Amino acid sequence: MLVTILALFLFIQLLYLISYKRNFNTKSINDILSFIIFLFLIVLFFFRNEDFGADTQNYLNEFDEYCSNPSGYIGVDYTYKYIFDLINFLMLDSCHISWLIWIWPIFVIGCIFLAITIFRVDKIYIMALFSSFIGIELLTNALRQGFSIAVLLLSFCLFIKRRYFLFLIAVTISFLFHQASILIVSIFIISRCSIRIVVPSIVVGVFLLFATNILDVVPWVIEFKKLIYKYLPYADEDFIIRIISIINTLCLCVLYLIVMIKSHCKDKIINNIVINATFVCCIASIVPYLGFRIIYGVYPLLLLLTYCSIRNYIGRVSSYNYLSLSICINIFISIMWLCGSSHMNKIPFVSIII
């Protein structure tokens, strides 16, 4: 059913892009049809099978343990406690385990909807994000990072609006949900620098870190290397996830650069961020587990920043078309993943949970 909905969504976007090329103004029609299809897609997420998403069952088990003793629950790490406290609060302290499947997409989508409303981003942004493989993962598999990225996206919108105090609060909350958020913020800060500085520095840094012992005198380096080496034997377990995630990010990067080049426009800062952040994702994608966590955090923010760049330098129509093209690319990748994975084919997407 998920593949059917995505295919219909893809068909609508292709019709819009073809009609736009022929000078027909069908944006309003596309908005309505896309919203209807996307709304139906989101409803499906509320009733998805708990086996769809490798970690969903683990989160349900952890939440079950939390509900048995909320005050005494410790969890795998501190983030579980904060997330489950929030989820239980949203459930009005009822701690209904099966409701986790519903609260999850409601919070993530609701928070991102609030963010783009504050920043006056086209609502089609949400459709572009959650039609992607990464967006689907944030709603079905990566609960903690889904919550974290939703709040982090809100924090970026607050930063752009120069609400710096609220930005710091939102970043802190995001960190409470997932530690990777600080790493994501750091990547975007560093990525503002010139690609002539960042890319060579990363290459040299990686070489010195793993090919020599020069940096071992730095206190945290040895522990970091141990962490990386610990995950390497499990490279096969999430190989496909890392490949699909980086393909999604590379496609976004290439699409943005093509749009800007064809329009003879250049946003120097965003260009640096896009190329540098994508390069970091490519390097990170080599590392199991850590790689896709970084990409999951970078992609939604890159999608937002590239959209804003095109809107500011070329215009709203071009930025809207950019998101529509992104939807087409994202859905194509998602369908290939869903149809090509024997594991996904065995699991029905929808399951009514009572």
Please indicate, yes or no, if residue 169 is contained in any of the structural domains.
yes
Residue 300 sits in which domain range? 2-346
Please indicate, yes or no, if residue 351 is contained in any of the structural domains.
no
Please indicate, yes or no, if residue 20 is contained in any of the structural domains.
yes
292 pLDDT tier (thresholds 50, 70, 90): confident
| pLDDT tens-digit readout, 207-261 | 888 788 887 777 777 877 877 777 777 677 678 888 999 999 999 999 999 999 9
| pLDDT tens-digit readout, 302-340 | 999 999 999 999 988 899 999 999 999 999 999 988 887
Please indicate, yes or no, if residue 298 is contained in any of the structural domains.
yes
Please indicate, yes or no, if residue 287 is contained in any of the structural domains.
yes
Pick left, alpha or beta for residue 15 (phi over 0 → left; psi -120 to 50 → alpha; otherwise beta).
Answer: alpha
Does residue 161 register a pLDDT over 50? Answer: yes
Mean pLDDT over the full length of the chain: 86
354 pLDDT tier (thresholds 50, 70, 90): very low
3-state secondary structure labels for all residues of 69-130: CHHHCCCCCHHHHHHHHHHHHHCCCCCCHHHHHHHHHHHHHHHHHHHHHHCCCCCHHHHHHH
Domain count, the chain: 1
Please indicate, yes or no, if residue 352 is contained in any of the structural domains.
no
Please indicate, yes or no, if residue 353 is contained in any of the structural domains.
no
User: Beta partners for 15?
Assistant: none
| pLDDT tens-digit readout, 54-111 | 778 888 888 888 888 888 888 778 888 889 999 989 888 888 888 888 888 889 998 8
Please give the angle made by the CA atoms of 33, 351 and 339, to the nearest 5 degrees. 65
Please indicate, yes or no, if residue 302 is contained in any of the structural domains.
yes
In this structure, what DSSP letter does residue 350 have? B
